[in-house]
Amino acid sequence: MRIVVTGATGFLGGRLCHYLKARGHDVIGIGRDAAKGSALQAGAIHFLRHDFAADPVEEAVRAIGRADAFVHAGGLSSVWGSRETFWQMNVTGTEQVRDMAVETGAKRFVFISSPSVSFSFTDQIGIRESDALPAPVNAYAASKAEAEKRVMINAGLSPIILRPRAIYGKGDVALLPRLIRAARTRPLPLMRKGAAVTQLTHVDDVCAAILLALDAPLTLGGRIYNIAGPDVLNVCDIIGAAAARARIEVRWRKVPWRLARAFAALAEWRAGLSPGAPEPPVTLYGLGILAFSHVLDISAARRTLGYEPKVHFIEGLNETFRPGEVP
């Protein structure tokens, strides 16, 4: 299969390119980072440097030629940013990739969305894809929810949307490293007695889910699937295990949720008024992840796609941080 992967110079996209190539597929990776693109080319992966915000789409279509499928793993993923930026990158950008897929004759479009679209400031256990979405918790979640709608418009692409929960693994520079940096610099808020549980998903399990979606019958187009790892984990235990790899003892400070929420709201308000709107030291969404349980029901992916997560957290942590390696 000739597969186009956007976001190929990012964490998931790069791993996916190698994963698909190793399984005999002809892969074209699209990204903005020329240096990382050269590394892909060294692995016999075709690389196309393209910036969807600046470069003509027609040039990319001509360079790709024909394609069987697209995986759109690109976009802006962040807990902070302006609505305009998220909309440009995640909504307009997704529309451009969708239209490119049509022009190249692709018959399957896999869109990597986010379970943040289903997050709310309350404990959520067993979230199903069919559940009504709450009001978006931030601009990122709003842009992903809208992008999902734009993807589903074109039934001819037999679109499948995946919502992978908290991707981690070797090469991750966002999830676990971010938690470790926070634990290294300051006490972390312990809210609601530290009872929140969640899931993480190893990048290889996400790649396996994407391949299952690519191979799924075209009649499954128009479906959304939650993707997560095999373990439901206490959030404090996740942070403690990751910090231990950096030889950091996590300092917890008990804080009432309402007080923490008020502080985060004030921090976001002040950041929004500052020149350049820099990311505040704490965000409402970031606090919500620490305070509330958020567990996805992955039974639909198991039943329909044959998805079965294989990488347990401790195994994934060992792969992420090699012995003796300080993150």
Angle, to 10 degrees, between the axis of helix 284-291 and the axis of helix 257-273? Answer: 160
Q: Per-residue pLDDT tens for 251-283?
A: 999 999 999 999 999 999 999 888 888 888 889
Counted residue by residue, the chain has a size of 327
- Residues in CB range of 21: below 8 A, 6 or more apart: 27, 43, 44, 45
Q: Per-residue pLDDT tens for 27-47?
A: 999 998 888 999 899 888 999
Burial per residue of 143-168, b for 16 or more beta-carbon CB atoms within 10 angstroms, e otherwise: bbbbbbebbbebeebbbbbbbbbbbb
- Residue 326: predicted pLDDT: 52
* Domains located in the chain, CATH noted: 2-167+200-228 (3.40.50.720)
Beta bridge partners of 166: none
What is the average pLDDT value for the chain, to the nearest integer?
93
| E-assigned strand segments in 129-248 | 160-164, 167-168, 188-190, 197-198, 201-202, 223-227, 233-234
- Residue 78: predicted pLDDT: 84
- Cα–Cα nearest to 198, from 171, 226, 170, 223: 226
Task: Answer yes or no: pTM beyond 0.75.
Answer: yes
Tokens of 305: 């796609």
- Residue 322: predicted pLDDT: 67
Which three-class secondary structure state does DSSP give residue 297? coil
- Residue 84: predicted pLDDT: 92
Chain centroid to CA 226: how far? 12
- Residue 44: predicted pLDDT: 86
- Residues in CB range of 133: below 8 A, 6 or more apart: 117, 118, 145
Q: Please indicate whether residue 54 or residue 254 has the higher confidence score (pLDDT).
A: 254
- Residues in CB range of 204: below 8 A, 6 or more apart: 15, 19, 169, 310, 311
Q: Per-residue pLDDT tens for 102-152?
A: 999 999 999 999 999 999 999 999 999 999 999 999 999 999 999 999 999
Q: Please indicate whether residue 77 or residue 266 has the higher confidence score (pLDDT).
A: 266
